[in-house]
Structure 1
C-alpha cells in the first residue's frame, strides 16, 4: 500500500503552493538579444559584441537567482454583509505574499455590481507586497439599490525577478452584500376588517378583556368587581358593569404582483420602478404591522409563486427583509397559468395586493378575491412617468393608449368593489382601510 502512494514533493512538504510562474516578454527579449549578440560576436570574431551581451546575460542570471516558489493569495472582504439602501459599504481586496521573496509589482482588478458605487472599482490597482506580508486595497462606497449584490470576482497578477517572471492570474470568487430596502415612515389607522388571534392591539367585534368600551350592562355571575360602573349602579340601584371589546391581532397578507416590470430604476435617490415601489412599500407595511404585534405573511403572484408563512415579532421582520431581497420580476413570457385565489387566503386576513395593474391576470385575480368575500385592498405601484417597454416613433401614442387601457381596468375593478389606492407612503391607506373595516362589519353573504 505504501508503494501505491505517490511520493510527496519537497515543495508540498514544506507547505508551498505549486509554482505558477511563466516568463514575460522582457525575459524573452533579453534571451533573444543576448543570443543574437553572442552568435554575431562568434561568427564575426568581434569581442565587443560578446562584451555587449555580457551585461544582459549577467543581469538576467542575477534576477532569476531567487525565483518565487509560491503564488500570491487573494481574498475579498465586504465588511458588513448587510446594509440599507444609501448606506456605506466597506469592501477591501487583500493580497498576501506567503513567499520569502518580495513581489516587484501586483496588479489587482476587481468587478463589482452596478448598484454598488465603490471608489475606483473600475480601474486596476498596482501595489507591492513584502515577503510574508499582506496589502489591503480599500474600496469604500455606497449601496444604491436593494437586493443581493456582489463585490468581485477579483484577479491579481504578480511580476517578480525584475519583471522577468509573472504569475498566472490568481482569481477569487465574489463576496455577497445584502442591501435591504429603505422603508419610509408608514402608519395606518387602527381599523382592521377582522381580528383572528387571541391577543393583540386591534379592536375586535367580540366582547372581552380589552381597552375599548362597548357599553354598560347589568352585572352577571363571573364579572370582575373592578368592572363595576358605580355611577350607573347608584343611579339604577342595581349593579352594572362596563363591557369592553377584546383586543385581537390581525393577519396581513402582502401579495406582490411580479408579473412584469415597468419604469427604470435609478437607485435610492433616483426614480423608482414598479419593483422598487413594490419592495419598499411591502417592507414599510410589514414593519408597521409587525411592530403592532400582528401576523404578517408574504406571497408572490408570478412564475415563482414564493410564499412566506405568517408570523409575528422582530424575527419575522428580518425574515421578511431577507425574503424581499429575492423578489424578481417576470418577463411575461413564462409558460403556465398563475393561480391565486381565495383558497390561498385565510378568511380573516387582510390582503394587501401591491400591483401596477398593467397585466389583465392581476385584475382578474383581484376581482376573484373580492367576490369570494376576502378583505382585499389593491395598492397601485405604477410610477407616474412609467411607459411601456420599447422605443419607437409611436412611443408617445402607445403610452397614451396604454394609460387609457389601464384606466379602464381601474374602473372595472372599482365597479366590482375592489378598493384601489395609489401608494404615497405614510397614511396613504387610511381611508381605504376604514372603508374595508366598515364593510366587514356589515353582514356578508356566502
Structure 2
C-alpha cells in the first residue's frame, strides 16, 4: 500500500514544503536499480562508508524483492560491476554475492553512464544511489542520470563523523567550508528533483530507510 517512490514528482517537491506525487495508476514489478558509489571509501576505526552502503543496499534489495519488484545493481567506480534487474530469492543471492565483491579501485578515470547497458539500467527504473557524496565523478553521474529523466533517490552515507574538524584554526575553517559545500551540493540535487535521505553516526539504518518509505507513504497527490 501507499505511493511508490518512483511516483514522487521530485522536481515539484523541491519547490514545495511537502512531497507531491504524480497521479497515475500504481505500477507493478517496478525496476529498481541500486547504484552504489565505489569511487571512494572513508574509514575510521570499525566504520566504512562503503561497508555501510553495502549493508544498506542488501536491506533495500530484500525489501523491494519482497514487494515483487525487479531489483538490479550497479557498482559505479574504478571497477564497474552490474547485475540485471531480476526477481525472487535467486536474485537476492546474486545481489548479495555481487555486493560482497564491491570494493574501491583507485583511478583518475571519469566514468560515463553511457558505459552501462540499457538492460542493466532500464529507462523507467527507480535508481537508488548509495553514496557519501564526496567524489565529484559520482556526483556528476547523479546529475547526468537526472538529466536523462531517471527517477533518482540518494541515500547519503554521511561521512561527516569520519572527518576530523581540524587541529588549528585554518583546518577548522577548511572543515566548515567543506560542510557548507555539502549543503550546497544537497540543495543543488534537490532542485534537480532528487530525494535525499541521510544516514550517519547516531542514526539507525532503519530510521534512514524510514525516510525513504515516507516518500511514498505520506505523499500528497498533486497535479503540476
Cα distance change on mapping 1:382 and 1:259 into 2, 3 Å: same
Shift of the alpha carbon at 1:328?
Answer: 0.9
Aligned partner of 1:163 in structure 2 is none
Whether 1:350 and 2:129 are equivalent positions in the alignment is: no
Cα distance change on mapping 1:409 and 1:287 into 2, 3 Å: same
Tell me which of 49, 68, 79 is aligned to 1:293. 68
> Any gaps of 5 or more consecutive residues in structure 1?
1-187, 195-203, 207-244, 267-271
Aligned partner of 1:413 in structure 2 is 189
TM-score where L is the length of structure 1: 0.40
Across the two proteins, how many residue pairs are aligned to each other?
A: 198
Q: What is the alpha-carbon distance in structure 2 between the residues aligned to residue 422 and residue 329 of structure 1? A: 22
Shift of the alpha carbon at 1:278?
Answer: 0.4
Q: What is the alpha-carbon distance in structure 2 between the residues aligned to residue 412 and residue 205 of structure 1? A: 27
Q: What is the alpha-carbon distance in structure 1 between the residues aligned to residue 105 and residue 221 of structure 2? A: 36
The equivalences for 1:19-418 within 5 A come to 190-193=3-6, 205-206=24-25, 248-266=28-46, 272-331=47-106, 334-340=107-113, 344=118, 345-387=121-163, 393=168, 395-418=171-194
Q: What is the alpha-carbon distance in structure 1 between the residues aligned to residue 64 and residue 3 of structure 2? A: 10
SS state at 1:376 partner:
strand
Aligned partner of 2:14 in structure 1 is none
SS state at 2:155 partner:
strand
Q: What is the alpha-carbon distance in structure 1 between the residues aligned to residue 220 and residue 146 of structure 2? A: 14
Shift of the alpha carbon at 1:253?
Answer: 0.2
Which structure carries more helix by proportion?
Answer: 2
Deviations 1:186-239 (A, max 9, x none): xx9552436xxxxxxxxx945xxxxxxxxxxxxxxxxxxxxxxxxxxxxxxxxx
Cα distance change on mapping 1:291 and 1:263 into 2, 3 Å: same
Which structure carries more strand by proportion?
Answer: 1
Q: Are the counterparts in 1 of residues 35 and 76 from structure 2 also a CA contact under 8 Å?
A: yes
Cα distance change on mapping 1:397 and 1:372 into 2, 3 Å: same
Higher mean C-alpha deviation, range 426-435 or range 309-318 = 426-435
Deviations 1:156-184 (A, max 9, x none): xxxxxxxxxxxxxxxxxxxxxxxxxxxxx
Shift of the alpha carbon at 1:438?
Answer: 5.8
Q: What is the alpha-carbon distance in structure 1 between the residues aligned to residue 92 and residue 174 of structure 2? A: 41
Q: What is the alpha-carbon distance in structure 1 between the residues aligned to residue 55 and residue 102 of structure 2? A: 11
TM-score where L is the length of structure 2: 0.75
SS state at 1:248 partner:
coil
Q: Are the counterparts in 1 of residues 78 and 104 from structure 2 also a CA contact under 8 Å?
A: no
Shift of the alpha carbon at 1:356?
Answer: 1.0
Aligned partner of 1:428 in structure 2 is 211
Q: Are the counterparts in 2 of residues 263 and 387 from structure 1 also a CA contact under 8 Å?
A: no
Shift of the alpha carbon at 1:392?
Answer: 6.3
> Any gaps of 5 or more consecutive residues in structure 2?
8-22, 200-204
Shift of the alpha carbon at 1:265?
Answer: 4.4
Q: What is the alpha-carbon distance in structure 1 between the residues aligned to residue 87 and residue 151 of structure 2? A: 20
Q: Are the counterparts in 1 of residues 113 and 144 from structure 2 also a CA contact under 8 Å?
A: no
Shift of the alpha carbon at 1:363?
Answer: 2.2
Deviations 1:286-317 (A, max 9, x none): 00011221110000121101111111111111
Greater Cα radius of gyration, structure 1 or 2: 1
With a CA cutoff of 8 Å and minimum separation of 6, indicate the structure with the bigger relative contact order. Answer: 2
